[in-house]
Structure 1
Amino acid sequence: MMTQVPASEPDFTPLDDVFVRKHMGVPDIDVTGWTLAVEGLVERPLRLDMAAVLALGTERLPAFHECFGSPLAPDVPTRAVAQVEWAGVPLAALLDRAVPGAAARHVWFEGADSGSFQGQDGVTYVKDLPLDVARDDVFLAHRMNGWPLRAEHGFPLRAVVPRMFGTNSVKWLTRIVLADRRADNVFTTRFYTRVLPGDSVPSPVREVDVSSKWFVPGKVAAGKVDLGGRAWSTTEVVRVDVSVDGGPWEPASLAAPGSGPTWQRFSVTRELAPGAHVIRCRARDRAGRVQPLAGARNAVHEAGVEAGVEAVGEAEDRAEA
């Protein structure tokens, strides 16, 4: 029977380990000349420099952050996920100042990255969201884990959309446009679309799938071993099952969800004989979604673990002596 354990403080991924994705390179931005425009169907267009952004105040948002993967291979698992404490300001603070017009229905987010992508020239990275979703969910971040954004992570300002794939969290943000229609851009209409179960037409890649991933070393000492990982979804993960060496699925201990859009820890203790082992994990969320066994980008995660006859640390200590 699965054991539910109390929620724990969020564990944040070290910045050096946070995945990096770029479609058209990393733009070189001088913050002294950088501005963010808020325009389109608004009563009061805005243009803010970084001092003006910082003057809005700073809030914190701990959240998991997952890469969807290549838009050319939407069913291939990437397992790229991190958890970050973002610092910045909710988009709603800017929208309240700009005052969306009555006809505004969508928000476009444009980054400074531009160039060629998949044979098409003059491309600028643009994503869009419905206005009500953007107002409630989008966070504009200028810091990660207490540090200013690095260039590769979107310096000086980026959008963050919790519980949505990272493709929606536009980096190197320069322009926010309110419009009465969706943006006509290759990254909104051609790339990052997929046909969801039960549908017949493609939808934008937005909400994450239910997923889980082992966070374990490749080598462990044989004997009783603690194995753990993380699970996440758009809603609470209610169960994680694990299988060792093709054995039956058995419930793991699962931490209760935190107060924000953070992942949940799971763990299990197993006796591992010396040799190679294969472990699998499978999550289920409160909406009833379950990770598929195969054939999908969020398919069950399988990891290999080599159990030795002695603790890895002991062997390393002797090698150094």
Structure 2
Amino acid sequence: MTQHTRPADPTTPDSFITPVDRVFVRTHFGKHPELEASAWSLTIEGLVDRPLELDLPTLLALPQTHLTAVHECLGNPLHPDVPTRAVANLDWTGVPLSTVLDLAGPRPEARHVWLEGADTGNFADEHDISYLKDLPLEQARAEVLLAHRMNGEPLLPQHGFPVRAVAPRMFTTNSVKWLTRIVLAAERPDHLFTTRLYTRTHPGETEPRPAREIDVNSKLLTPRHVPAGTTELAGRTWSYTDVTTVDVAIDDGPWQRATLEPRGTHPTWQRFALTHHLTPGPHRIRSRATDSAGRVQPPAGARNEVHEIEITAS
């Protein structure tokens, strides 16, 4: 199963930008690689006219951009339907992947971009494998950032130093850390982390798809102990597209429409809140989001099921 570099995830704070020390950490092989900036390089190869090898100063000299985006872990790839809600909202600085691809010159037959990290090891009974993901070329060209800073600071080793991919609006399995190799190819790679794990069969379908676009989801962030009386019940919600409504239910009461902040121009999460009078004692709080594509958080049994917490008012 997926291994962590620390025993538990930090609690998600109710702030627009998640502090770096509150961001969840995931690795597949038990530890992250220790890379030296002076020795790092990124190769771009495969179906390109001009294969490249870029060192860090060369990459940093290219035009830079900023992106603020929600960042969600799919969870254990062996159990992809188990809810985790490991999520953060982060500001990234880096070079658009399209800039590097233009320097390399993709050939007309290139259809897919393979992203490979420096981390290697054993996972799910396979040995000495690297971490590899792939995306359709046009999607990768339009969206992926080669990031070297998180929240204005250089990436920490556990978050992908010195450079990682950031694939906004996608599960973070697609945002390859410790990026060292990009391959343009006509076909998808047959690999543990591309075609055998991190796939999902959607309701009404028979063929699995790669786990890419994030689901509509929400997470209540109200403290477990609150004052009795008029209280704000708040949280964060996110989706591949913008969330249009969030409903909150208290105990066995009806769903009530929460106030929802707009998403804006970047693919970020959105804050929702409902003010409600709570009597002293325990309460069950639930949240349910709907996005502009008409997707609604499902009931129990799905990885993005309606979120539920228990709080006590006193």
TM-score band, normalised by shorter chain: over 0.9
Determine if the alignment matches structure 1 residue 110 to structure 2 residue 116. yes
The within-5 A match list for 1:238-253 is 238-253=244-259
Aligned residue-pair number: 299
Runs of 4+, deviation exceeding 4 Å: none
Aligned with 1:124 (options 111, 121, 130): 130
Instruction: Could you tell me which runs of 5 or more consecutive residues in structure 1 were left unpaired when the two chains were aligned.
Output: 1-9, 309-321
- 8 Å contact 2:219–2:236 — kept in the other structure? yes
Deviation at 1:206, TM superposition (A): 0.4
Deviation at 1:185, TM superposition (A): 1.0
What TM-score, normalized by structure 2, do the two folds share? Answer: 0.94
CA RMSD of aligned residues (A): 0.9
- 8 Å contact 2:64–2:96 — kept in the other structure? no
1:278 is aligned with what amino acid? R
Aligned with 1:167 (options 154, 159, 173): 173
Secondary structure of the residue that 2:202 maps to in structure 1? coil
- 8 Å contact 2:94–2:146 — kept in the other structure? yes
Q: Which has the higher contact order (CA 8 A, sep 6+)?
A: 1
Which whole-Å deviations, capped at 9, do the CAs of 1:70-97 have from their partners, x for residues lacking one? 0111110001110000010110000110
Deviation at 1:278, TM superposition (A): 1.1
**Residue in 2 that maps onto 1:150:** 156
Deviation at 1:59, TM superposition (A): 1.1
Aligned with 1:15 (options 20, 30, 38): 20
Q: C-alpha distance in 1, partners of 2:154/2:262?
A: 31
2:259 is aligned with what amino acid? S
Q: C-alpha distance in 1, partners of 2:114/2:222?
A: 39
Instruction: Could you tell me which runs of 5 or more consecutive residues in structure 2 were left unpaired when the two chains were aligned.
Output: 1-14
2:197 is aligned with what amino acid? F
The within-5 A match list for 1:301-320 is 301-308=307-314
Q: Give aligned-pair identity as a percent.
A: 58
1:62 is aligned with what amino acid? T
What TM-score, normalized by structure 1, do the two folds share? Answer: 0.92
Q: C-alpha distance in 1, partners of 2:23/2:282?
A: 28
Deviation at 1:127, TM superposition (A): 0.2
**Residue in 1 that maps onto 2:276:** 270
Secondary structure of the residue that 1:43 maps to in structure 2? coil
Q: C-alpha distance in 2, partners of 1:148/1:66?
A: 20
Determine if the alignment matches structure 1 residue 98 to structure 2 residue 104. yes
The within-5 A match list for 1:280-299 is 280-299=286-305
Q: C-alpha distance in 2, partners of 1:118/1:74?
A: 14
Q: C-alpha distance in 2, partners of 1:251/1:265?
A: 13
Secondary structure of the residue that 2:48 maps to in structure 1? coil
Secondary structure of the residue that 2:38 maps to in structure 1? helix
Q: C-alpha distance in 1, partners of 2:175/2:187?
A: 19
Deviation at 1:57, TM superposition (A): 2.8
**Residue in 2 that maps onto 1:318:** none
Larger Rg, first or second structure (1 or 2): 1
Deviation at 1:227, TM superposition (A): 1.3
Deviation at 1:306, TM superposition (A): 1.4
Q: C-alpha distance in 1, partners of 2:82/2:205?
A: 20
Q: C-alpha distance in 1, partners of 2:203/2:161?
A: 36
Aligned with 1:182 (options 180, 184, 188): 188
**Residue in 1 that maps onto 2:55:** 49
